[in-house]
């Protein structure tokens, strides 16, 4: 069930109304049942796999808490093994088997591993990591094992963040599920306002940009120069609006019922460095890797070469988490390389900045960070490694544009997909996004809107809703991160 679908438009108010009507002791049953319905709207049978891992992790948490010595580590290993095993079979087996078959073929061997015809369960990487955080926290003694099976199942299945995060921690969600939630008008309005902004970013900006980005990146060899550059820049905006839009809808829908999910994005394209970018982008995943992989590997408390290796490993795994494809692996490796080079050159860059203060300009650093991130997005978006390499080789190719004229050739390939009013709609939406993101650095925009006079406030609300209704493409586009 997509957040931007008619089904959800019916599902959400019905579930929310029932939530506030029912007595507190029955609400977890409603939310658990609604979350199962939400998940089964994609591929019903896969709910069985999810329920199996929930049973395993619930039992593992109790066993870990009650055990002593090596048995605690054994039960943790069994829990993590079950989760990673499901992830490996459905998401990674064909990738590694295909790579092994290619190596066998290259070596002249006729042997080949069989490939599986399995559909990847929606949001598998997200709820797997959320489940693993529970057993790890119980093992570390930071979380008591949950005795109430229904509440633990709800922790994994809670529908707002089930398929694309934020990847929550048990310390945040389990206590909230036990608390009695009351209807609060201001909180409900705040949640609906956040949902509307998320839908605006997704449907008015991301889905509109997707039309051109998909057209170019689905057949990149048909283009050279300007269309490739425009599509690449557009994708950087598309993926941000698509994913942060989902997170806003998830957080808003949870807030309406009284639950607070963690913030997943904090204006990442305003980052002045790559480390800062990763403190602002997909925060729930970045902190997950920090707490459960980077720090256990030694973090930066070890010698510099080992710290660089730890960092590179984390981003290599992050690339693989996103998808079983060489393009995602290279995307992660590229970000790892960025950060390793940054660590190795930190002192030299500081000395250079002292001599040339202009290099410390915030605008210059933001632009450079954005350029590096956007370059890496080429590998993330390309359907294959050859496609990505083609885009890179021809991204700034001026030959045909110079020969036939940039406006007649380069922009002509772009203009095919948009009429003039669509460009105006897109420009207006991007301007609104830029204004909100810029203002967010100084003031909480949602709070500012709430303090405005009633006519102004409701004019803004109706304006956003009308934009969503009138400017969204007719076709419904799936959220990008659903594939992970």
Asked if residue 390 is part of any domain, the answer here is: no
DSSP assignment of 452-479: S-HHHHHHHHHHHHHHHHHHS-SS----
What pTM, to 2 d.p., does this model score?
0.91
Whether residues 163 and 192 fall in one domain: no
Domain limit, last residue, from 178, 213, 234: 178
Whether residues 336 and 284 fall in one domain: yes
Between CA 328 and CA 220 the distance in angstroms is: 18
Domain limit, last residue, from 383, 416, 439: 383
Asked if residue 19 is part of any domain, the answer here is: yes
Whether residues 76 and 121 fall in one domain: yes
Asked if residue 153 is part of any domain, the answer here is: yes
| 49-69 mean pLDDT | 94
Q: Are 259 and 181 in contact (CB under 8 A)?
A: yes
- Answer whether residue 59 shows pLDDT above 80: yes
Between the alpha carbon of residue 147 and those of residues 31, 48, 60, 233, the distances in Å are 18, 21, 11, 49
CA angle at residue 375 from 371 to 377, to 5 degrees?
Answer: 120
Query: In the chain, how long is the greatest CA-to-CA distance?
Result: 75
Residue 477 has what pLDDT?
A: 77
Q: At 68, is the secondary structure helix, strand, or coil?
A: coil
Asked if residue 400 is part of any domain, the answer here is: yes
Whether residues 316 and 463 fall in one domain: no
Whether residues 341 and 406 fall in one domain: no
Whether residues 32 and 137 fall in one domain: yes
Name the residue with tokens 């609006």.
241
Whether residues 27 and 146 fall in one domain: yes
Choosing from 127, 282, 322, 335, which is the catalytic residue?
322
Residue 432 lies in domain: 185-265+395-480
Q: How many domains, the chain?
A: 3
Structure tokens at 174: 């389990």
Asked if residue 453 is part of any domain, the answer here is: yes
Lowest mean pLDDT among 21-25, 307-311, 475-479: 475-479
Residue 60 has what pLDDT?
A: 96
Whether residues 230 and 339 fall in one domain: no
Q: Are 261 and 161 in contact (CB under 8 A)?
A: yes
Whether residues 365 and 341 fall in one domain: yes
Domain limit, last residue, from 144, 178, 212: 178
Q: Are 272 and 366 in contact (CB under 8 A)?
A: yes
Whether residues 172 and 114 fall in one domain: yes
Whether residues 155 and 169 fall in one domain: yes
Between the alpha carbon of residue 70 and those of residues 61, 81, 190, 278, 292, the distances in Å are 15, 16, 48, 36, 20
Asked if residue 418 is part of any domain, the answer here is: yes
Q: For residue range 440-459, what is the model confidence (pLDDT) as tens digits? A: 888 888 888 888 888 898 89
Asked if residue 389 is part of any domain, the answer here is: no
Asked if residue 108 is part of any domain, the answer here is: yes
| 263-276 mean pLDDT | 95
Q: For residue range 90-131, what is the model confidence (pLDDT) as tens digits? A: 999 988 988 888 888 887 878 788 888 888 888 899 999 999
Whether residues 10 and 130 fall in one domain: yes
Q: Is 24 a catalytic residue?
A: no
């Amino acid at each position: 069930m997509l957040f931007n679908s008619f089904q959800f438009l019916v599902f959400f108010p019905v579930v929310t109304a029932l939530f506030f009507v029912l007595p507190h002791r029955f609400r977890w049953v409603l939310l658990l049942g609604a979350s199962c319905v939400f998940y089964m709207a994609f591929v019903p049978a896969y709910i069985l796999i999810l329920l199996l891992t929930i049973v395993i992790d619930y039992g593992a948490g109790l066993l870990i808490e009650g055990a002593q010595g090596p048995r605690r580590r054994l039960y943790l290993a069994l829990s993590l093994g079950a989760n990673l095993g499901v992830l490996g079979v459905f998401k990674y087996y064909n990738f590694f088997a295909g790579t092994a078959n290619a190596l066998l073929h290259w070596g002249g061997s006729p042997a080949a591993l069989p490939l599986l015809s399995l559909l990847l369960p929606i949001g598998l990487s997200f709820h797997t990591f959320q489940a693993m955080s529970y057993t790890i926290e119980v093992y570390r003694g930071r979380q008591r094992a949950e005795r109430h099976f229904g509440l633990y199942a709800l922790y994994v299945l809670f529908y707002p963040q089930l398929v694309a995060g934020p990847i929550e921690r048990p310390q945040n969600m389990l206590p909230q599920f036990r608390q009695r939630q009351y209807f609060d008008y201001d909180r409900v309005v705040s949640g609906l306002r956040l949902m509307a902004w998320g839908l605006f970013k997704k449907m008015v900006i991301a889905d509109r940009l997707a039309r051109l980005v998909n057209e170019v990146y689905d057949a990149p060899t048909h283009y050279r120069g300007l269309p490739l550059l425009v599509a690449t820049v557009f994708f950087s905006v598309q993926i941000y609006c698509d994913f942060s839009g989902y997170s806003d809808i998830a957080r808003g829908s949870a807030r309406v019922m009284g639950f607070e999910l963690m913030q997943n994005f904090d204006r990442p394209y305003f980052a002045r460095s790559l480390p800062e970018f990763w403190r602002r982008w997909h925060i729930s995943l970045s902190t997950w890797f920090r707490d459960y992989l980077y720090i256990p590997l030694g973090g930066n408390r070890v010698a510099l070469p080992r710290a660089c290796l730890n960092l590179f490993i984390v981003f290599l795994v992050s690339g693989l988490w996103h998808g079983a494809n060489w393009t995602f692996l290279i995307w992660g490796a590229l970000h790892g390389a960025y950060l390793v080079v940054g660590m190795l050159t930190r002192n030299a860059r500081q000395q250079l900045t002292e001599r040339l203060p202009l290099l410390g300009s915030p605008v210059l650093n933001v632009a450079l960070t954005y350029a590096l991130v956007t370059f890496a997005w080429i590998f993330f978006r390309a359907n294959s490694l050859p496609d990505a390499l083609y885009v890179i080789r021809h991204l700034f190719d001026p030959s045909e544009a110079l020969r036939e004229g940039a406006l007649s050739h380069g922009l002509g390939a772009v203009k095919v997909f948009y009429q003039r009013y669509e460009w105006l709609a897109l420009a207006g939406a991007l301007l609104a996004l830029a204004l909100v993101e810029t203002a967010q650095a100084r003031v909480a925009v949602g709070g500012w809107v709430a303090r405005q006079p009633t006519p102004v406030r409701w004019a803004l609300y109706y304006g956003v809703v009308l934009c969503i209704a009138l400017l969204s493409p007719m076709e419904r586009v799936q959220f990008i991160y659903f594939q992970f």
